[in-house]
Amino acid sequence: MDLKNSIRYHILDRALRRVRRVLPSSDRWQGPATGKYIGRADLARHPHIAYREIYPEQRIVWSDLKLDPAEACEVEELSRIDDWTNQIRVGFFARSREMRYTHYSHSLLTANDDLYGNLHFPHTPDFDHEPHPMFTHPRQPRLDPLCRGKTLVLLSLPNLYHFLFEAVARLALAQEAGVEACEYDHFLGEPPSLPFHQEIFDSLGIPTERMVSPTRTAQHCRFSELHFSNTTYGIPPELVGILRSYLSRIPRVAPPFACPRKVYLSRAAYPTRRLLNETAVTELLARHGFVTICPHQLTYAQQRVLFEEAEVIVSSHGAGLANLIWCKPGTKVIELRARHHTRGYWKLYWNLSSACNLEHRWVSCEDVPNSHIQGSQYSDLIAPLDVLAACLEN
């Protein structure tokens, strides 16, 4: 902590908290949190929280995967830099009465103002050894005077991976803990914005009219009973099993064509990670018996069948690979990824393949900056045809 932040935390922020304790709370003014920080290890013994562990904390051991020497060296180096991507956090389900949610830092506060702040992204850090921003933020959004009933925290981002492994996974963990979706008065998450959101919710029997938006109607609100669980970057086999069992309610609907054994998933319709030499790539793949599929043209039920029937899948890094949970063990996956892919996402689907007992290989591509959005993880790609051809033949 540098000098400026240290002065702010130890002097200014403590003064703000003292003022916060003196002044009464109101619907229009809520200052910094005044309780203590609740780390994951504290949930099980907190007096206001009922906690149940679903699966234990684990660590991904990359040496267990079958790697060629070049891949092994790359994985070792990247794992050292992004060590947090090797961690699988504890899978849990927790309940608390008289709890409130604030959109600022996606935090939960108990009746005595203790703070749980690891709610949204899987790579949100723990704040056990440094101040969480909720302890220093002088103002929160206006507190909604309405106290809502029994609610499950979903949250989510629009793309398929985040939707399945954050929002839907929390529904699956609730069921694993013995709570059915029909028991909830509300779900804290954004209403469906894409067709597959609505399709999956309809198949799972989730009434979307019960969704409460954390960015609009529920920026700071109270609940008589709030249920929440975690998200994780590392994907353990236990979570895959729980999620796949829960998603099995989605019907199997055959695509409007015979399902090919070898599938290439095109991202030509998407604004990021487009394959700039896709014509040459599809010609190469066609010579090896691959059929090009545009997944956005299929319903989610049809995508399920497509992945169940596939034996080999080639795709650029993208959310459509979340469907790997439907693949048979032993399915071969070739992922085209940017050579300078950053932010830890570089081994996300390799991790998922490992949890599903699939054979996963990378083809590192030349990355070209994307004109729509900055960041190497969004770069367009130029695939090396010789490397891809060698990968297909092996």
pLDDT on residue 126: 60
SS3 17: helix
pLDDT of residue 340 exceeding 80, the answer is no
Query: Are residues 270 and 220 part of one domain?
Result: no
Residue 66 confidence class, pLDDT cut points 50, 70, 90: low
Which tokens is 3 given?
């000098």
Strand order in the sheet with 380-382: 291-293, 262-265, 312-316, 332-338, 359-368, 380-382
Query: Are residues 279 and 221 part of one domain?
Result: no
Query: Are residues 283 and 175 part of one domain?
Result: no
Q: Is 68 exposed, middle or buried (0-12, 13-18, 19+ CB in 10 A)?
A: exposed
Residue at which a domain ends, from 190, 217, 247: 247
Q: Would 324 be classed as within a structural domain?
A: yes
Query: Are residues 283 and 243 part of one domain?
Result: no
Query: Are residues 191 and 110 part of one domain?
Result: yes
Supply the DSSP symbol for 72. Answer: H
Distance CA 361, CA 5 (A): 44
Distance CA 198, CA 185 (A): 18
Query: Are residues 241 and 311 part of one domain?
Result: no
Q: Would 366 be classed as within a structural domain?
A: yes
pLDDT on residue 378: 82
φ/ψ of residue 119, rounded to 5 = -95, -30
Q: Give the mean pLDDT of 6-12.
A: 58
Q: Would 1 be classed as within a structural domain?
A: no
Residue 27 confidence class, pLDDT cut points 50, 70, 90: very low
Query: Are residues 149 and 121 part of one domain?
Result: yes
* Greater model confidence, 392 or 21: 392
The terminus-to-terminus CA distance of the chain in angstroms comes to 51
Residue at which a domain ends, from 247, 282, 312: 247
Q: Would 6 be classed as within a structural domain?
A: no
Q: Would 116 be classed as within a structural domain?
A: yes
Distance CA 25, CA 31 (A): 8
pTM of the model: 0.87
Query: Are residues 209 and 60 part of one domain?
Result: yes
Residue 232's nearest CA partner among 343, 323, 351 is 351
* Greater model confidence, 369 or 78: 369
Residue at which a domain ends, from 218, 247, 276: 247
Query: Are residues 223 and 298 part of one domain?
Result: no
Q: Would 198 be classed as within a structural domain?
A: yes
* Greater model confidence, 24 or 100: 100
pLDDT single digits (tens) 257-314: 999 999 999 999 888 889 999 999 999 999 999 999 999 999 999 999 999 999 999 9
- The chain-wide mean pLDDT, for the chain, equals 85
Residue 79's nearest CA partner among 238, 239, 240, 234 is 234
Q: Would 290 be classed as within a structural domain?
A: yes
Query: Are residues 232 and 282 part of one domain?
Result: no
CATH number, domain of 343, equals 3.40.50
pLDDT on residue 28: 46
| Cβ–Cβ < 8 Å for 244, 236 | no
Distance CA 101, CA 146 (A): 13
Query: Are residues 274 and 184 part of one domain?
Result: no
Query: Are residues 181 and 276 part of one domain?
Result: no
Residue 322 confidence class, pLDDT cut points 50, 70, 90: very high
* Domain span holding position 314: 262-393
When divided into structural domains, the chain yields a total of 2
Q: Give the mean pLDDT of 238-266.
A: 95
